[in-house]
Amino acid sequence: MSLGTLVGRGTTVSISASARTATSSAGESTRGALLRAAERLFAELGIGPTSTRAILREAGQRNESALHYHFGGREGLIDALYSERGAQIALERERMLRELDASGEAQDVRRLCAVAVLPPVRIVRRDPEFALFLKVVGQLAFLPSDALQDRARRYTGASVQEVSARIRAQLPISEVLADRRIELMHRMAVLALSQRALSGGSFEGHDADLFFDTLLDAMAAVLEGPVSPATERELANSRGGRR
């Protein structure tokens, strides 16, 4: 086999590899453009009113099959957006858990609430565009079924489960009631942060700090409040209601 043949084949392989890389890069660019376009429109118009065609137009895509090709449809697009942003939140929460463990401070309920709710705040302070996602995520709380909780379980990683487990261990109430309160706490935090973003409220400065401290106080109160006689009766009547 001649040297010319070897060089020729090597060149062909190199060109093919370059072509594959370029195609892959273009695909990722299109995917990213669709995600950012959807996030902007969902934040501005709402998830329901935003059409697939509007997302394609916002992303500068003339190929109407692009969204289906990359995400399989609208639900797949929403999942992908939550997966991307949820991974960022999970990383920040894991960082905060490490900081809390390293500090040696008492892990009371309020501090654990801070680890639960403040990761998105810290991200927005570094990247203001993340506030668009906070505008979107609050809408999931009002979608049919458990869209918010389901995506939270799938895309925010083990860190949210770890924080919930630590909070549960601090509460002198039944596991059934603790789980209900923890779910309420998460929903309250999501809606509060989403409303803050939707209203154009700042995530920095004295007013923001007061807002977030008040939110943490309210979250801790929801978790640690006394159990009323009415709730005690309902727990006793429930099959899972055990102290």
What band does 145 get if pLDDT is binned at 50, 70 and 90?
low
23 vs 37, which has greater pLDDT? 37
Residue 176, exposed/middle/buried by CB under 10 A (0-12, 13-18, 19+)? middle
Question: Nearest-5° angle of CA 103, CA 104, CA 106?
Answer: 115
Residue type, 88: Q
- What is the model's pLDDT at position 58? 96
Residue 99: predicted pLDDT: 96
Each residue of 147-175: pLDDT tens digit?
656 666 666 678 889 999 999 999 999 99
How far is Cα 223 from Cα 180, in angstroms, rounded to an integer?
9
Calculate the alpha carbon distances from 127 to 45, 123, 137, 207, 241 in Å: 22, 6, 17, 19, 44
Q: What is the pLDDT of residue 138?
A: 86
Q: What is the helix, strand, coil percentage profile of the chain, to 5?
A: 80, 0, 20
pLDDT of 202 over the 80 cut? yes
Q: Is the pLDDT reported for residue 13 higher than 80?
A: no
pTM of the predicted structure, to 2 decimals: 0.81
Q: How many Å apart are CA 39 and CA 125, to the nearest integer?
A: 18
103, 138 contact by CB (below 8 A): no
Nearest CA to 48 among 122, 116, 147, 121? Answer: 147
Domains and CATH numbers, the chain: 1-72 (no CATH), 82-243 (1.10.357)
Mean pLDDT over each residue of the chain, to the nearest integer = 86
